Structure 1
Amino acid sequence: MDSHKPVWASRWYGTSFRVRYQETDQMGVVYHANYLTWFESGRTEMFRRLGFAYRSLEGLGLLLPVTAADLQFKSPARYDDLIAVYARLTTFSALRVVYEYEIRRVSEADAEAGDGVPGITRARMADSQPLPGELLVSGSTNHVWLNKEWKPVRMDRAQPELFRAITGALKEEEGGAV
């Protein structure tokens, strides 16, 4: 894999939870800044399902801070809604990473369906069917690889084994090709 070449869009990974009271504002809707926290939950769980943990990256001296975030609000989430946060990679290179997200209100049945991903069955992934539930927020975040001194670093040079392991995991997943 060319370490400068971004990847396609990976398959979606998801996690679900209920909106907590403290996440809402006086209008009874989720306060807008909470969606960024939910994006982080989505990307952390996606990375974990690929077999890696952000904590292990940091232990190896790699940091992946957000350099840009974009959110489009469609409809508000409210207290006690069942929410699914879906995340996927649209770019993974030795220099940077870009994630895409969808936050959706889902039913109990959607949250219980799928292979550990709310409402995403292997058939749905293979057929590129729409994600379940009502789209509330979509967006993306851009990240760059840094070392502990906050200097840009090429992941393929700083941690070549880890870089190969992650690109290998992405190649093996269903629904995309690197």
Structure 2
Amino acid sequence: MPEPLATEITVRARYAETDAMGVVHHASYIVWLEEGRTELFRALGLPYADLEAAGYFVLLTDVQARYLSPARYDDRVIVRAEVAELRSRQIVFAYTLRMAESGTPLLSARSEHVLVARATGRPARWPPEVLERLRSVSGPK
């Protein structure tokens, strides 16, 4: 079984992403997860824009996050995303976020998504060529 492909991006906590105490607001992490999985799809040669142009949406159906330590304004955070599970209509991503300088773990998370046909709004199967590419890098089934 090949090692799952993971991408890592670095984000810097912006002032607008923090609360009155300068701590990154919990909702900001969810946005960073989206950035991570967007880059993962891009690294696979499957940019979201191309999937949408082909008539599909990848809809979020569940997200779970475990907050381990706070990030603060201007901190650099590494967002790691990988494909954890893959089914004919569903994909699950796993994430870890950590401080860029110290490596301190900030968050572990997973998100589940379903592929939907734009024309019908109904769940759809991954196109065979997309499914094959995703299978080549996905983690344990």
Distance 1:162 1:68 in 2: 22
Asked whether the 8 Å contact 1:9–1:89 carries over to 2, the reply is: no
SS of residue matched to 2:46: coil
Q: Is the 8 A contact 2:4 2:83 kept in 1?
A: yes
TM-score (norm 2): 0.89
Greater helix share, structure number:
1
Superposition TM-score, scaled by structure 1 size: 0.72
Report the counterpart of residue 15 of structure 1 in structure 2.
9
Partner residue in 2 for 1:152 = 123
Matches within 5 A, 1:155-166: 155=126, 159-166=127-134
Which residue identity does 2:124 align to in structure 1? V
Deviations 1:84-123 (A, max 9, x none): 100011112221000011111112xxxxxxxxxxxxxxxx
Structure 2's unaligned 5+ residue stretches are: none
Name which of 17, 35, 46 aligns with 2:40. Answer: 46
Q: Which of the pair is proportionally richer in strand?
A: 2
How many angstroms does 1:51 deviate by?
A: 1.6
Contact 1:9–1:88 (CA<8 Å) still a contact in 2? no
Separation in structure 2 between the aligned mates of residue 11 and residue 163 of structure 1, nearest angstrom = 15
Is 1:63 the counterpart of 2:57 in the alignment? yes
1:105 alignment partner in structure 2? 99
- The CA RMSD over aligned residues, in Å, is 2.2
- Match of 1:14, as an amino acid? E
Structure 2 SS opposite 1:35:
helix
Q: Matches of 1:88 and 1:166 in 2, distance apart? A: 11
Label 1:177 to 1:33 Cα distance change in 2 as closer, same or farther (>3 A).
closer
Which structure has the greater CA radius of gyration? Answer: 1
Match for 1:81 among 75, 78, 94?
75
| Residue aligning to 1:133 | 103
Deviations 1:113-171 (A, max 9, x none): xxxxxxxxxxxxxxxxxxx711101110001111012201111xxx2233334434x28
Partner of 1:167: 135
Aligned to 1:118: none
Residues in 2 aligned to 1:145 and 1:8: alpha-carbon distance in whole angstroms: 24
- Aligned residue for 1:33, secondary structure, equals helix
Identity over the aligned pairs, expressed in percent? Answer: 36
